[in-house]
Amino acid sequence: MRKLIFITGNKGKLEEARKILKKIEVINKEIDLPEIQETDAKRVIEAKLLEAYKYHKGEYIIEDTSLYFDSLNGLPGPLIKWFLEKLGKQKLFEIAKKLNNFGAEAKTMIGYMNQDGGIKYFEGSVKGKISSPRGEGGFGWDQIFMPEGYKKTFGEMTPEEKNKISMRKKALLKLSKYLKNL
């Protein structure tokens, strides 16, 4: 069985990857990697992959999940963690409300590095809108993101409901297809 290292400290993301990449043994490795502050998720991932390569040679993945507001021309994107920390979910909703534009897109970017240091990227996205904070589930900004075609935020969905449509699942399925063709 093929082995793939997933560098993450998030057990939920690890379990989701294991469920989707069924024919691959996904092994967790925690490495405290610096994260550059950048609005381009590919650059964030690339910097992390190159730093991780100093510690470990082999096949591995790193992911970044971001939230892009239409009203802010794509911000906060990969900076969402800092926006949440400084403003909170309610203020982020109020920004969308004040600008009268609730459109948003949730994206996961997975960076894959092969044993020779070659990098490939796989992206999954879900369009939706910014909602007032609702729900207790999920993490980060899940309580303010409502995917298109649903009346629940990610925070109101069960993990099973969310994982059926998640941007991470879409990116992992693209990665899985790529790895099958190697």
Note the pLDDT of residue 182: 83
Note the pLDDT of residue 139: 84
At 143, which amino acid appears?
Q
Note the pLDDT of residue 56: 78
Give me the residues paired with residue 112 across strands.
61, 120
| pLDDT, mean of each 10-residue run, the chain (182 residues) | 90 90 91 90 95 87 97 97 96 98 98 94 98 93 98 95 95 96 86
Q: Cβ–Cβ contacts within 10 Å for residue 74, how many?
A: 15
Q: Cβ–Cβ contacts within 10 Å for residue 125, how many?
A: 15
Domains (range + CATH), the chain: 2-180 (3.90.950.10)
Q: Structure pTM?
A: 0.93
